[in-house]
Every structure is written in structure tokens, then in C-alpha cells.
Structure 1
Amino acid sequence: MTPNVLPPAPSRRFVPYLLFVLLATWLGFAAGAAAASLAEQRTAFRQAWAVAQQGGDGWRSWAKGLADYPLYPYLEEAALEHDVATLDRATVADYLRRYPDLLPAADLRRAWLLEQARRQRWDDFLALYRPGLGDTLTCYRLQAKLAQGGRLDFEKDLAPLWAQPSLPSACDPVLDAAHEAGLLTDARLWARIDRALDAGQGGTVTALAAWLPATEGKAAARLAQALRDPTAAVADAVNWPDSPRHRQAAALALQRLARRDADAADAAWQRLRSRFDFTPAQRNGVLYALALYHATDFDEHALARLADLPAAVQTDTSREWRARVALARQDWPAVLAAIDAMPASQQEQDEWRYFRARALAATGHPLQADALYAQLALEPTYYGFLAADHVQGDYAICPLDPPDDTAREQALLADPGLRRAFELYAVDLPRLARREWARALDGADPATQRVAARLAYERGWYDRAVFAFASGDMLRYYAQRFPLASQDGVVPQAQQAGIDPAWAYAIARAESAWMSDAHSGADARGLMQLLPSTAARVARQNGLDWGGAASLYDPAVNIMLGTRYLAQMAARFNGAPWLASAAYNAGPNKVQEWLDARGTLPPDLFVATIPYRETRDYVARVMAFAVIYDWRLSGKALPLASRMPANGQPYSLPDVHTPRRGVTCPAMPAPAAAAGTDVADPASAR
């Protein structure tokens, strides 16, 4: 257009177009205002939420303008639950009437029922009780029934509870009443004891033993002892009678002791094998345990013990340990024999195809080995990447994106439950968000769940995609399964800590699946699953601020401290990421113990002989994830072998100039293979 020249006045035929432009502009401003309004609502909700959790009605002054906000009912419930000890039935019933199908209503009902049970206000309890609220409230309902003169019916009232290996303390008065009423027959007691034994619930066995006749009760107590203290049990067993239940206790104690001390269990077996007339199943169970746990100790006779187990006793675990012991000895003919002894389905696992190739190469069959390596290299797994390194081939990674499905997207975005889930995530309440997510998608077909996961990913809620895209071709959704969460500072924090960002990403992905509020049973927290004590020590050593355990749920804080701790693990093992990964999972002292025993093994064999399955799988998973994240970051990938230098050899931190392996998509990619079974649901999802 020539500058400084006014355009001609629009003709009538251009007026509709101008109106369209004006309307579009107005809608754009309106959308911006709506977005700003939503941001304001979220800010107001966070403020009101903090006040509501203190009880009372003060939150209402902070919640003006939130009446139409999807999370508004959560505010009132939080305040009511805080004040639950002073609530009357009418107040609770009114909330339940207004929000009958919402999760906050279920939470308030549960909290109020527990308070009424604590106060033994059974009329109020029964007025708002509903079935399906868990064993604790079920037992309180039965307490209410007894308090009002009712009688227990075993099949109707107790049978579902009785099938549980352990029960909450609220059930104790109910079980006492059932016992006094003669409902807990010896047969029923033994049936539950056997379930508790299978579940390792020694406390349940001890409690039930008191209700058995004296002789049987003594046998049950010894079964509990076998679970709790197998060392004492096998020592005492020389004085036990040779009755069926005492044989069961002795066999159980021997198997439990074998886990802790295979040599002590072996010695005890020599003393007790002629003392008791063990059944064939009991005898085989003890022999199996002894063979297996001598193998995990890499005992010199372990290979023969495992090979000599009767076929009927063999399991996938015993067969794989036969191979692991042979690998530890680098006895390649024995490795081949152990793999050949596996069923076909086990032989086809990528680990055993890889080690068959290793064994064939070591026994003078390079062509067969290379053929196996080439086939395995088509799979984007730990063993596939190792195989590609052997044949100097590219890594096989075939990315896909989730398909578009506009109709489902619109339906999901209009779903009130999913809207609440997304809002709860947006206001940093991920645990509540997951509950709404599960409720909204309960019973949804796979296609709908996939679309929901993609919507979550687009909103930065990465763990939903990680868990949803965990099978079949969905494993090829690499962008969604291996997100580059740059806002968490992984790359700069890893660089400052002196470690490879791709490895740091891999650790976070393996530890938490990007669940920022991950919390394990051991109290490890956040994206990189740090213990508060470890985090405090790392902060102190690095001169970093420490805001307490709760700060570990802040991704930026967690990544900052986690990368420093990971750097400490690396420094302890000459920088080697594979050994530092093992130390991150099992502890550096345990890894050093394994190195002292088998540190001369090549790294791939050492990983295969790690005694802990969790750590063995963890190292393989992290190493595979590091390859994928390196590719995501740079378009190529550092050879896996470069991340796994032999023990004692120095490791050079890669940079942009480090040679990397190419990544290609074979014409016929292996079906459903993409860094494998990578979702070990962190304890955090609880």
C-alpha cells in the first residue's frame, strides 16, 4: 500500500465483512476479559480457601463474586468440616441437599458421621449414614445397630468384613459382640487366619488366636510368630508338636527366615526337616525359598540349587534368577541353558533376548548375536537401546501425536466434573483434582479418556497423560509422556548442579511421573521424591534456603534440591549416571556393597544382577528415559553405553559438542513398544 494515502470509503458489499471484523474484535476483547475474570476468581478462591480451612463464615467475605465459580462448594465444605464437632444435623443435611452428588458432600458426610460415632450419637449417625463409605463407617453402623438392641447376622452384616485380612479398630467392638454371640466359629476363625497369613497380617492372627480353643490358639500364635519373628520361631520349633498347624508354622518361619538370612534358614532346615512330617507342598516351598534367596546372595551353590528344583516348583522368578546367577559368573553356556529353561513367553521378554544375544556372541556365534541385536534394536526400550549400541545403529523412536477429536473435547470441556478437576489443578489442589478427575471419567471409554488426558497435558497437568498413555500405540505419544516442564527449571538447575539435564528429567519422570504432590510411604516428597531430612541436609550443604518439608511440593524447590542431591550421588560414583541412579533408589551404601561384591562386571551385567527388583527396574527405566529426554532436548541421543561407563572409570558430562546417536523411525516399528512399562504409580497418588 502506498503510504499516506487514505483508502476509499467502503462500498455496501464490504459492510458485512467490516461488521464481522468488529464482532470478532469485540469477542476477542470479551474473551480476554473472561480470562482475566477467571484469573481473578482463582486468586479469590485461593484466598477464601485459606480462610475457610480455619472454620467459621469469614471465608464468605473473600468469596464475593465466586458464586458461579465451579469450586465454590468446596469453600463451604472446608469451613463446615473444620467446625464439624459443633455442627447440627440440619446444617449438614442442608449442605447435602444442595450438593448431593459432589465429592465435598461425601467428605462432609463422612466427617460428620465419624464425629457422631465418636460421641456415640447413634440416632444422628443413622439418619445420615449411607452404605459404601468404607469399613470404618460400616463397623460404626453395626455398633449403632447393637446399641439400639439389634442383633448381628453373620452373612448379612459380617461376611464382607470377615473377608478382609485386617480391619480398622472401629470393628473391634463388633467382632467382640459377634464372638459373644457365637457367630465366630472355629472354621470361620481359621479361614480368616489363613487370609491374614497370606497377606502377612500377623496382628490379625494374634488377635484371632485368643478366640480359638487353647491348643489351636497356641498353634495360631506360633503362626503369628513365624510371620513376626521367624528367627525365634525356628529356634522354638524343635519343641513344637508335629501337628498340621505347627508344620504350617515351621514351614512359614523357614521361608520367612530365608528372606533375611539364607544360611541360617539352611541350618534350621537341616534341624527341622526330620522333626516335622512336612507335606510335599511345604517341603517344596522351603526348598524354593532357600534356593531363591541363596541365589540373591549369589551363593556358590545357587546355580545348582535353582537348576535342581522340581519343575512343578519353578516360577518365572526362580528361572530368571538362575540366569542372573549365571550372568554374575559370566558363565555364558549356563546363561543360555537358563534362558532355554524359561517358558516361551519369558524368553521373549526383551531382557532375555538381549542376554541371549550377549551369550551367543560370547560363545562364538556373532552372526546369530547380531541378528538378535538388530531385531531388538527396533524397540525403544533400555535393552533395545543397548542392542542398538552393540550394532552401532540409530535408536528407533517413532513419535505420534494424539488424534484430534473436537466433538469429544467440547463435551469434556462442558462436563462439570472435569471442569472442577481442571480448576482444582489450576489452584494447586492436585489431590482433590485427581479425585474429581477419577469421578468424571469413571466408566468413560478409552477414546474419551485419551482426549481428557490430552486436555490435561495442554493445561500443564502432565501426570494425567503419563498414566493414561501407558499402553499400545499410545506409548508413542512421547511429547505427552515425556514432557519438557521448563517452568520447573530442570535444565538450568541441572546445569548449575553440574549434571546432565536429560538425566535429571529422567529421574523426576521415574520418581513421580510429574506428580508434584507425590508422597511415598517413606515420606519422600515431590517431583524428585526427596526425604525432608535429605533435602534439609542438601540445602545446608549448598547454602540454599530451606522452607521445611512442605516446600518440597513446590516443583521449583524440589528440582533445585533434587538436582543437587543427584549431583552428590554422581560424585560418589565417579559421575556415572547409572550407578548414581541405583544409589538414588537404593542408597549409596547398598550400591557400594554390591560393587564390592560384583563391581568388576560390565555395567549391563551388573544392573541385571542387582538383587532388588525395584532398583534393577529403576536403573533400566531411568537410563531409557535419559535417552528419550536427550532426544527431546537435542533431536539426537547420547549413546546409552556412554552413560554407563565401567565401575571406576571417569564419566564426562555431555555437552552440545558430544557425539550423539541418530534417532530414526523404522519402517515397521515394533508394536506397542516405547520405553516400556514405565509407570510405577508413585506412592504419591494416594
Structure 2
Amino acid sequence: MQRPTLLHLIATSVLITSPTAFASLSPQQELYKKTLVAAEKGDSASVQKGLKQLKQYPLKPYIIYAELRSRLNTLRPADALDFSRRYSDTPLEGRLRWALTTSLGKRNEWQAFRELYPSLDRPSAEQQCYWGRSELATGHKEAAYTLAARLWVEGHSQPDACDPLFDSWMKSGGLKDRHAHDRALAALEEGNISLARYAAKQASQASTKAQLDKAIELFLNPKSLLTNAALVTPKTPDHRRLLMLAVNRLRRSDLDAAIDLWVRDRARLSIPAEEQSELSVRMGTLKAKHYDPDSESALARIDPEFRLEELTEWRARLALKRLDWVEVERLIGKLPANKQMHERWQYWLSMAKMKQGTDVTTQLKTLSGDRTFYGFLAAELSHSPFSLDHEPIAMDAHKLKELEATPPFQRMRELYELGELYDARSEWNNATRDLSPDDQHMAAHLVKRWGWHTQAIRGAIQSEQWNDLDIRFPDPYPELFVDASERAGITSTWATAIARQESAFWETARSRVGARGLMQLMPTTARHTAKKHSLPLANLDELYQPRTNINLGSAYLGEMYREFNNNRVYATAAYNAGPHRVKAWMKERGNLPLDIWIETIPFDETRNYVQNVLAFAVIYDRLADRPARLLSDSERKLLAYNQPQGKSDKL
């Protein structure tokens, strides 16, 4: 069965930023940028002149929006609502209403504010507080105080705009012990001890103060509950929340003690089964990933009846680590039926049966029909061809032209070419929201023609076109990858697969931790690599240039390849998680067969990353009619399939 769930992902850690500059702009684009600057400055004369010269230019609404924003302090609701009606097919209409609503609230212009506020879909906490204040100003005290109570009991600080509303509510005597209690507990659950103490001080009754003192003490000293169960009994108010608070707090400093406390008290304090699973899975997976000697027994204590499939999967991984194939088979059998049929566990079930003397050739050939890492592994082991299940599509040129001529896509293309990707993405979301899957697919091909590969890939996912590999696996820089890879001593396909996984080919992607460009290089790594290989890097903005990024990324990938003895599995993991972590994992589990080593990588992101990159490389080679291999000969020799049966040391 074809399963798209592994290979359709885009790295979620990547943020989309704007290009530093395009090679050239058309005269209209230059005029647009100039007029936009004038609009932002409130230069109405220049704006009117520019709008007249721009004629039917698609981005004129952005100029009008910027000009209106420049005089936000004098706008009225009618101005924003009129703009919304005129430009209802743009994402700008909601932005102007949002901005003006906030501005009116800051200015205490409650009548105008109340005209516009109901038009907001999801008002912010700040805007909700302005609404509460407008209720006070118009004599609706009961409604205002009901809202104040709801906003005040949150476990985090609210915007300063809420203070007048809260002050009025508190002065009216609205703040009761139940509010102090709820906010203090919510704050502790969010780890905000200072806010919890503030909220606790608002309580007036001795019983409430005692309850909150106990909660704060448990937060500060959660292990005390383990040594003294009488601190929280079934008769204790909020006993369930207090237990979960203590366990969550304790797991950060002493995971084993937290597990002991949780296993001992979850039944004693009547935690409902549906409320147990999240915390059980969180602690169980953390314990499993430590690969401690008692990890298996800890997971068995947490989930003795195999109710939590994530923990059952980790128990199977722990058995793989011990090469206990009988236990691997047993544990896979404990998974839900649909999970057992996943290619991951079908592969490991085949390995377990093979190691126990069963011929699994038929099972491997069946699994080889999957376009996944495990399907490709099975194909290599059973000497079967790689199955791509590629379904290229013949696009209707007339329909494509019609779509491109619509105002949203005209604006989208201009914004893309100008590097205004936030706005371009907003236009995409707005324009494709109500399109049929077929039209979404067509839209993805349209933006691919522009060179917007990242959005094209997302469009294929959005329209569930898993088998249109032309759009899901573009190859926009083949010459650059070939040149850089030859110098680095690696294959261009591998480097291309890295870029596909890292950024989905967006030149100016930037991660939350600062990695940049196509191959997501960290600044320190880029500088070090440039110096070591005598490659040019005048400033970090050059990492957004494809040639520079590919040269440096390929050079660094080549370093990892050589550092890990020409093993692409270890090198790929090192590219993602850092060589120091991979060396530590190899020291801990380097004696394992290579496929088991991959399966037991403790970072979920890195495990999926390695599997994706190796599988992507196969897809790229097959699409280009090149000989394709998932693993080299030396790498294949390290697979469990090719290793003699035996058991490694116990955990």
C-alpha cells in the first residue's frame, strides 16, 4: 500500500523570509516600490501621482492600504469597512480592520470601536480588553466584569490594556477566592511562580490560602509528595491537578522519581484514563530515549496493558536495541492493527521473522511497493525495483492561463518577484481556500513555473497529490549541485536531497535557531567551512544566494562524510543534529546494525530526517533515470539483514 505520510513533509522548523534583492525589477515594480514608500510616509500627493501612473498594476491595493495605515489615527470604521468591501479578495481587508480596531481602543474611542469590533474573527486579548472597557463605558458593567473574570484567570500576564478593566472589576468586589485559586493554579501549570504568588495573595479565605500554599509548595518541592502521600489525598481539593502539577515539575529534575510518583498515585487519586495518556507518553518516551538499563521496565510500569501505541513502539525499539527478535515480534503484535500495517513495523516484523528462521522474501517484495524509506530498504534487500508510483499530470494550458490572469494570482506573482513572501503566502492562502483540489493542484503547478518551489510543494500536499513527483521533488539548481558536490567529494543527489529536506528549495529560508538558505547553514558553521575550504563568504546575507549556500553546504556535508568514514547515514544525522551528538550515539549504540541504529536515534526529527534524505535521493535518481541506491555496498553490509544472529549487551 502506498503511504505518503513520510515523504510529503517539509521541514517545519523553517521560517520564510524575503530575498535580499532580485536581479532586476521592471519599471512598474520600481514605481510600485517608490509609491509604496510614499504611502507609508503619508505623502498623499506622491501616492496619487504613482497610482495614476501604475494604471492597472495588480498591487495597487497594497499602496492604498499603506496610505490608510499611515493615517490610522484619523480613520473611521467606515473607511476600513469600505476598504474591506472594495478589496474583499485580498488578505489586506482583515489587516486594516484589525489595526484600526486596536487603534480605536488605544484612543478610547469606544463608539467607533464598537462599530468595528464585531467584524473581527479572532480578537486578541488586548482587543477583548478594549471591548470590556467599552462595555464599561456604555454602562454594560455585568458583561464587562464577566469578561474581566474570564481574562484574569489565565496563567500568564495579560496586556497592559487590560489593567483598567481589571482594576474596575476588582474595585467592584468582583475578584473572589475562586478567581485567585484558578489563576494561581493555571500560573503554576505554566511554570509562572511569580504570577501564582501574586494571584494567591488575592485570596481572602484561610482555606483558599492554605490550598494555594500547598500548591506552591508542591511546585517548589514536588518530590515531597513521593515521600509523603498524605500531602494529597482523594479528599484534597484539586487533587488531580496537584498530582499532575507535581509530576510535570518533578520530571524535569528527576524523571525516575516522577515516574514512580505517577505510577503510584494516578489510580490512587483517580486520574481518568483519557487524562493520563499525554503525561504517560511524555515521560515514557523521555525514559526510552535515555536507553537506561531500566527503560523497558519503566515503560511496562507506565503502560502495562499496551494502551499507548507510542510507548509500545518505543518498547519495540528497546527490544531492537537488544536484538531480541522474539520480543520485537511480540511487541509489534501489541500495536493497533492499523499501526502494525505501517511500513516501519512491517519491515521490522519481517526482520524479526527472518532472524527466527522464516523466509520473508514475499513480505519484503510486497513491502518494496511502498515509496518510503522502509519500502526502499525492502526493495534493496529483495532485489526488487524501487517503486515510485509517479503520476505525472498533463496540465490544461488554457485553465492554467485563466488562473494566472485572476487578480489574486497576479498579485501573488508580483509579490513573489518582489520578495514579499509573507504577503505572497497570505494571498495564496486566501486564493486557494475555496478552490477544488484539482484547482489547488493546478495552482501549485502555476507557482512552480514561477520558481516558487516551496509553495508548489505545499500546494501538492494541500491538494493531496502525493504521486505527482515532478512538483513534489523539483531540481532547480542541478548544475550548482553537481559542481559543488564534485569539489566536496559527494554525490549531487545526496546534497540535493538535503536541500529538499532542509528548506524545500527556498533560497532565503531562515530557521528559528538562525540556520540560513537552501541547505540551512548556521552562521558559525558557514564561516568555519568558508575559511577551511577557501570559499567566499563576505557576509551572512550571501548565504541566501544559491551558489554560495550550495558550495558551503556541500563542502560541510563532504566534511561529515569523511569524518564518519564515508557513511552517509551517520553523516546525514550529523548534518542535522551535529557531529558531537552522532559521535555520542555511536559510542552508546554504534555496535548496532545500521538500520537499527537509525530506528533508535533518540531525536524524532533526526530519525525522520535521515530516512527522508536517503529516500529523497532515491527518488531524485530515479526521476533523472540515473542508477539509484538507497545505501552503498559498505552501508548495506551493516544492516540487520546481513548480520549474524546474536544479542547485544542488555540495556
Give the TM-score normalised by the residue count of structure 1.
Answer: 0.75
Is the contact between residue 385 and residue 640 of structure 1 (CA under 8 Å) also seen in structure 2?
no
Higher Cα Rg, which structure: 1
Mapped contact 1:161–1:167 kept (Cα < 8 A): no
Letter in 1 for 2:553: G
Match of 2:427 among 433, 436, 454: 436
The residue type paired with residue 345 of structure 1 is N
Query: Pairwise mapping of residues 201-600 of structure 1 onto structure 2 (< 5 A)?
Result: 209=200, 211-212=202-203, 215-216=207-208, 219=211, 232-235=221-224, 241-242=231-232, 243-245=236-238, 248-258=241-251, 261-265=254-258, 269=261, 273=264, 278-279=269-270, 291-307=284-300, 309-310=302-303, 314-365=307-358, 367=359, 369-405=360-396, 408-470=399-461, 474-486=465-477, 489-546=480-537, 548-600=539-591
Q: Within 1, Cα distance between the matches of 2:470 and 2:376?
A: 19
Give 1:45's match in structure 2, choosing from 32, 37, 59: 32
In structure 2, C-alpha distance between the alignment counterparts of 1:163 and 1:506, rounded to whole Å: 48
The CA deviation at 1:624 is: 0.9
CA distance in 2, matches of 1:176, 1:269: 41
Contact 2:222 2:249 in 1 (8 A): no
Q: 2:55 aligns with which of 48, 54, 67?
A: 67
Contact 1:374 1:387 in 2 (8 A): yes
| Alignment deviations for residues 499-531 of structure 1 (CA, whole Å, 9 cap, x no partner) | 322122212221222344434333334333333
Deviation string for 1:539-576 (max 9, x for gaps)? 44444444655554444444343333333433432342
Which residue of the partner structure matches residue 604 of structure 2?
613
Amino acid at match of 1:107: R
- 2:95 pairs with 107, 117, 127, which one? 107
CA contact (8 A) 1:234 1:253 kept: yes
CA distance in structure 1 between the partners assigned to 2:209 and 2:581 by the alignment:
41
CA gap of 1:466–1:260, structure 2 versus 1, over 3 A, is farther
Distance 1:100 1:46, change over 3 A: closer
Deviation at 1:336, TM superposition (A): 0.8
Matching residue of 1:134: 123
Structure 2 gaps, min length 5 = 1-23, 640-651
User: Match of 2:29, as an amino acid?
Assistant: R
What is aligned with 1:143? 133
For 1:27, the equivalent position in structure 2 comes to none
- Structure 1 window deviating more from structure 2 (327-336 vs 110-119): it is 110-119
- How many correspondences in the alignment? 603
1:543–1:38 distance in 2 versus 1, CA, 3 Å: closer
Partner of 2:74: 88
Contact 2:507 2:545 in 1 (8 A): yes
Query: Bigger CA drift: 89-98 or 249-258?
Result: 89-98
Cα distance change on mapping 1:123 and 1:255 into 2, 3 Å:
closer
* Partners of 1:163 and 1:384 in 2: CA distance: 51
* CA–CA distance in structure 2, aligned partners of residues 416 and 314 of structure 1: 52
Contact 1:353-1:376 within 8 A present in 2 as well: yes
CA offsets 1:473-507 (integer angstroms, 9 cap, x no match): 72111110000112893333333333322122212
Q: Secondary structure at the match of 1:601?
A: coil
* Residues 226 and 261, structure 2, Cα contact 8 Å, conserved in 1: no
**1:527 alignment partner, SS class:** coil
Deviation at 1:612, TM superposition (A): 1.8
Q: 1:120 to 1:171 in 2, by over 3 A?
A: closer
- Structure 1 alignment gaps of length 5 or more: 1-36, 649-686
Higher alpha-carbon deviation: 200-209 or 292-301: 200-209
Deviates more, 1:197-206 or 1:487-496: 197-206
1:202 and 1:225 in contact (8 A); partners too: no
User: Aligned partners of 1:636 and 1:154: how far apart in 2?
Assistant: 70
**How high is the sequence identity, in percent, across the aligned residues?**
30
Paired with 2:284 and 2:299, the residues of 1 have a C-alpha distance of 6
Deviation of 1:448 after TM superposition, in Å, equals 1.7
- Letter of the aligned partner of 2:311 in structure 1? S
Q: Tell me the distance in 1 between the aligned counterparts of 2:544 and 2:102.
A: 29
- Tell me the CA shift for residue 435 of structure 1: 0.1
Do the aligned partners of 2:132 and 2:143 also contact (CA within 8 Å) in 1? Answer: no
Deviation of 1:111 (Å): 3.8
Task: Decide which moves more: 330-339 or 211-220.
Answer: 211-220
**Greater RCO, 1 or 2 (C-alpha within 8 Å, sep 6+):** 2
Partner of 1:638: 629
Q: Distance between the aligned counterparts of 2:290 and 2:258, measured in 1?
A: 13
Query: Do the aligned residues in 2 keep the contact of 1:576 with 1:645 (CA within 8 Å)?
Result: no
Q: Residues 288 and 542 of structure 1: is their aligned pair in 2 closer, same or farther, counting only changes over 3 Å?
A: closer
Q: 8 Å contact 2:36–2:63 — kept in the other structure?
A: yes
Assess, with a 3 A threshold, how the Cα gap between structure 1 residues 482 and 220 changes in structure 2: closer, same or farther. Answer: farther
Amino acid of the structure 2 residue aligned with 1:325: L
Tell me the SS of whatever aligns to 1:470.
helix
SS at match of 1:132: coil
In structure 1, distance between residues paired with 2:630 and 2:422: 38
Equivalent residue letter for 1:624? A
Q: CA deviation at 1:320?
A: 0.2
* Shift, 1:375, TM fit: 0.7
* TM-fit CA distance, 1:38: 9.4
| Cα distance in 2, alignment partners of residues 156 and 418 from structure 1 | 45
- Report SS of the residue matched to 2:54: coil
The offset of 1:596, in angstroms, is: 1.1
Distance in 2 (alpha carbons) for counterparts of 1:508 and 1:552? 13
The farther-off stretch of 234-243 and 399-408 is 234-243
Supply the RMSD in Å over aligned alpha carbons. Answer: 4.2
- Residues 454 and 159 (structure 1 numbering): CA distance in 2 closer, same or farther, change over 3 Å? farther
TM normalised by structure 2 equals 0.79
